Amino acid sequence: MLKDSQKNRRLLQGLCLKFLLLCLLLPTTSLQAQEIALPDIGNPSGNILSPAEEDRLGRAFMRSIRKTMPVIQDPLLTAYIQSLGDQLVNANASATGSFEFFLINSPQINAFAGPGGNIGVYSGLITTTESESELASVIAHEIAHVTQKHLVRTYDAVKSMSLPAAAVAIAAVVIGAATNTPDLAVAAAAGVQAGMIQREINFTRSHEEEADSIGIKTLAGAGFDPTSMPVFFSRMGKASRLYDNGTLPEFLRTHPVTANRIADAYGRADAFPYKQRSDSLGYHLARERLRVLAYSDAREGIEFYSKTLRDGRHRNEESHQYGYILSLVGNRQYSEASAILEKLIAKRPHQSEYLVAKAELEKKQGKPEQGLKTLEQGLNEHPGNYPLSMYYAQALLDIGKPEAVNPLLEKILTGRPNDALTYKLLAQASGDAGNKTQGHQYLSEYYYHTGALKEALMQLEIAFKDRNLSYYESAKIAARMKEIRQEKSDLEARDR
């Protein structure tokens, strides 16, 4: 009877939560135009989280995101979106602390901000924007939500929850709002009190107006075209007429654009000098890399790029040649790819994307040592470069030189302590070099940062059985196991 009662209570909780999320995430209409509909996690009358609390919440938030969403781990794409985000953060006078920008592998046209300066960008947004300034305008808007504390104004409603459970609750609502999929939010937030969600989610026009205003100022400060925000809003508004309410792109569901909002954005942009900015090559290369990754068959890419290059129907010829190269490599047409790539490298010998493509091509042609040399030359020109370091580490593993990987990637960890891919490569390198215990520890961190707590514990338990561990090493592993067990227990308690 008790189990049945608990089961019924959980079912009722889930139904209530689902109903609330459906109400909150559906577009709101009134006598006036539709209001802006971005989630504001928090109550402005409450106490703001301390930087340390928000940082811990942000890291837990990212573990939940990585567990539930297809976060792209491509080093070149990660480096691009982080670089663009950093430019905008540096132009925002209110930005403090670290920001992490990451990509979600989805055709959805959207972006979202989470606690701790974590900002997610859907790949569909990059491929839909018509300029880098348009992309920057959306990111600048999300940065403003973080700097103005729109996301975490108070911890009152979640202080009674453990930090991991609070992070999952926030991630669930952000994901649900960004994707307009309440079922996903309900699944991710199973067991969370419906009342907490109701208190903590507010949709406010004032926050959106503030984010627009600060975002435009940030764009101008970073050297981007400040009119790109209203231009993008206007284009999305016109596109909305092609859809009914059930098929609207996610950006239009969560960022409804009205004539007033567009006019206000133009008015704010007019306060800054007109700035015509050429798109960076990195922007164009990232767009085409994403396009190629989306093809299920490399021959689709070959057909697309051969046609656009032949007809001259492209915004940037060089990036389309790059996309063509990637497609040719994917279809094992190595000679054709090499001929085009050599011309690009002759033009830009230090471009990371081209060096990585050349190294990958050389590996596929049976010349892995030459590929390693190509990456090494790139690193000599760009010491510490993230994507070159990651591909260089993989190249070292491919040719059986794991002992050189750890010093290289441990330096990367100092600047990217939460980078899951780095831990994964370190785990392989340690194992291949014969240090199985260290390999299990690194693999544990990989699982931990991707939200797989059970698997993270299993790896530590294996490492802990090593009889050759020193007292210090044993104590360190035991302490880490205790931390992860507590987090796992907190999440399991939330779901009961």
Please indicate whether residue 35 is annotated as part of the active site.
Answer: no
Has 208 been labeled as part of a binding site? yes
In this structure, the number of other CB atoms found within 10 A of the CB of residue 382 comes to 15
Decide: residue 372, CB within 10 A, 0-12 exposed, 13-18 middle, 19+ buried: buried
DSSP character for 118? E
**Catalytic-residue membership of 212:** yes
134, 142, 419, 445: the catalytic one is: 142
Catalytic-role residue among 100, 132, 212, 250: 212
Of 309, 336, 335, 333, nearest to 320 by C-alpha is 309
Ligand-binding site membership of 209 (annotated): no
Q: Let me know: does 327 contact 341? Beta carbons within 8 Å.
A: no
Residue 457 corresponds to which tokens in the numbers above? 């514990």
Amino acid at 179: T
| 190, 14 Cβ separation under 8 angstroms | yes
Burial class (CB in 10 A: 0-12, 13-18, 19+), 463: buried
Q: What tokens appear for 107 in the block?
A: 């055709």
Strands (E), 151-305: 201-202
Instruction: List CB contacts of 302: < 8 A, sequence separation 6 or more.
Output: 324, 327, 328, 331, 333
Question: Residues within the annotated binding site for Zn(2+)?
Answer: 141, 145, 208
Q: Residues forming the annotated binding site?
A: 141, 145, 208
Active site residues: 142, 212
